[in-house]
Structure 1
């Protein structure tokens, strides 16, 4: 018996209409993504938050931009619910919530950096499309610079909100140890946001910021100097399997471990460099263990980013195994214990993060 084909299946017009409506909504959202980046770069959201309600011409004057572009940009934002429009006055403004999302870089809800990273990913679209067939990868060092900058801006507000106040206290005895003076390695530090936050909070501890990407380390060093904590941070350009040092009280990895090509080898090296009574803090994108439990807006965003950046980087480094950004706690436990750790637990969590602790 010949199996049925798509052509043989009747179309449910109601379901089709629903699907088309969803797709049109998402098409508009996709078109709006670059406008968020433009508004972020040109200071349009910030000016609107500080000075609104404004007419398009007034916002253009405040930001040294051109009115026709600003007019369409404002209407697009209002159509999507990111900007507020008053039809009686023709003026636009941002609510406190809209400003927290798009105008306040210190807000834990700030997401403009995520859109910056999204546009950066798209610069590698053709290469990653080809890699779907070849199995090759694209390293973080090969991505557009907006990927690194956007990723740092996306994650940093969460680190500033939770790292010192919640995540470190969730590690048994670690807060007191850091206050007394500890040795800490921040592996895969990127632009150094997490290292700087820790160095500011624990001035008696010593930190090593480690990343294989030399340009990221340059940015991290500059930002540490600007923050006034360069005297307590040293920097090392190397991989997570080769960094120097021993007897670290704490090794940290923030949203980086799942990107690595040899996660078992990395875990083994962390174990070798960690003091016998030390701890490994892993902050990973929030994920449940089963795919069906990650089919939600947060899981979707991380699966998409994983396809464009995390899996390509892992494959570029050999990919054995490839974890991806939605790997989940159970699989992480398997890989990390295979690397030599005997104790592993979920210390705490947020809607965007799993906060995990491994000990020898």
Structure 2
């Protein structure tokens, strides 16, 4: 306070950072409301109802009206719901429903709030990791992390993987249609595996992950989608999975989590077919910290701090890439592993889609 009185603080700069902090705090509070709305089915009910009162929404969802009324107030204040004062009714616009109510939409984000919830739940582990330098294995996180991550990636993959990303790779679609052998390394819940298997019935797919609980879920995902006779899953490290002569080896949003990505790339070089392709999908990032200033980069850096880097350190920490490694560092890893061709196949606001060949 003395600094402010003595005019050593720029009041405009102070107002700006205070406003930013309040906005962030408001978003954190709002995230709790979004998660509640998602888990209670409030958004889904509103998406089908048009204009609706708090009493009607409470009756439809079986919730207490007084809580519903206050929750709706938070949604209006946050710009998620429109309020009509004349009729005392609320409405979820169709565009908002794509983000908050339709869980198969490519921009659905309501379930993704499970990720920061898990980060808060794991705060003591993160504090200890900061102080000791120890890692945090993927399997040691709060359980909400896995469902949140799967939800965030699943719909993006559904919208883009077969329609856009695979066609951006040289000659891969033709191989998949004819019948290829594919390794999905770090497959997690298997949504990427299932999507490819459904789209290319002549090809065979092997999913690998070191987290057994995720593979249990992956088998259920594939069983629901069909094509189980052409898909297998195996518990294995990314630098030691079985098989050879893979026409396509995929790393979907996972290389950054691995303790020795160079060893992983070298194993891919050993197991790939002569004219095979590595498909690497990582978060969109430029090559310098000063070039990565955006809401998306901030989100990725935060997750990288407590999840990606933490797991890589627990996995040996030989090379800890982080979620904002950038194309240049990723290319260097694959060139050191023996790949002679590395290029950006395409990019989105959230992802880099990269291609490597021997």
**CA deviation profile, 1:98-134 (whole Å, cap 9, x unmatched):** 1111111121111123211121122111111111111
- 2:279 is matched with which residue? 281
**What secondary structure sits across from 2:32 in the alignment?**
helix
> Partner of 1:168: helix, strand, or coil?
helix
Secondary structure of 1:169's counterpart equals helix
Q: Which moved more, 1:99-108 or 1:324-333?
A: 99-108
Q: Does 1:213 align with 2:218?
A: no
Match of 1:157 among 155, 179, 197: 155
Q: 1:208-230 deviations in whole A, cap 9, x for unaligned?
A: 01110000000000111111121
Of 50-59 and 270-279, deviating more is 50-59
* 2: CA distance, partners of 1:32 / 1:252: 36
Secondary structure of the corresponding residue to residue 208 of structure 2: strand
Task: Evaluate the alpha carbon distance shift between residue 7 and residue 272 of structure 1 in structure 2; reply closer, same or farther with a 3 A threshold.
Answer: farther
User: Are the equivalent residues in 2 in contact too, given 1:170–1:347 (CA < 8 A)?
Assistant: yes
Moved more, 114-123 or 42-51: 114-123
CA distance in 1, matches of 2:211, 2:101: 29
> Normalization by structure 2: what TM-score?
0.97
Match of 1:14 in 2: 12
What does 1:185-264 align with in structure 2 at a 5 Å threshold? 185-264=183-262
Shift of 1:7: 11
Is structure 2 residue 322 aligned with structure 1 residue 327?
no
Cα pair 1:113 1:152 within 8 Å, conserved? no
- 1:248–1:71 CA distance, 2 compared to 1 (3 A): same
Q: Give the structure 2 partner of residue 138 of structure 1.
A: 136
Indicate if the aligned counterparts of 1:264 and 1:339 stay in contact, CA closer than 8 A: yes
Q: 1:165: how far off? A: 1.1
Would the aligned equivalents of 1:60 and 1:66 in 2 still touch at CA under 8 Å? yes
Instruction: Identify the residue that residue 31 of structure 1 maps to in structure 2.
Output: 29
Query: Residue 14 of structure 1: CA displacement?
Result: 2.3
Q: Which residue of 1 aligns with 2:298?
A: 300
CA shift for structure 1 position 6: 11
| Aligned CA-pair RMSD | 1.5
Count of aligned positions: 356
TM-score by length of 1: 0.96
Provide the residue aligned with 1:349 in structure 2.
347
Equivalent residue number for residue 45 of structure 2: 47
Equivalent-residue separation in structure 2 for 1:132 and 1:312 (angstroms): 9
CA distance in 2, matches of 1:8, 1:272: 66
Residue 258 of structure 1 aligns to a residue whose secondary structure is helix
In structure 2, distance between residues paired with 1:44 and 1:36: 9
Q: Residues of 2 paired with 1:295 and 1:316: CA distance?
A: 28
SS at match of 1:334: helix
| 1:54-69 equivalent positions in 2, closer than 5 A | 54-69=52-67
The alpha-carbon distance between structure 1 residues 312 and 9, as it changes in their structure 2 partners (threshold 3 A), is farther
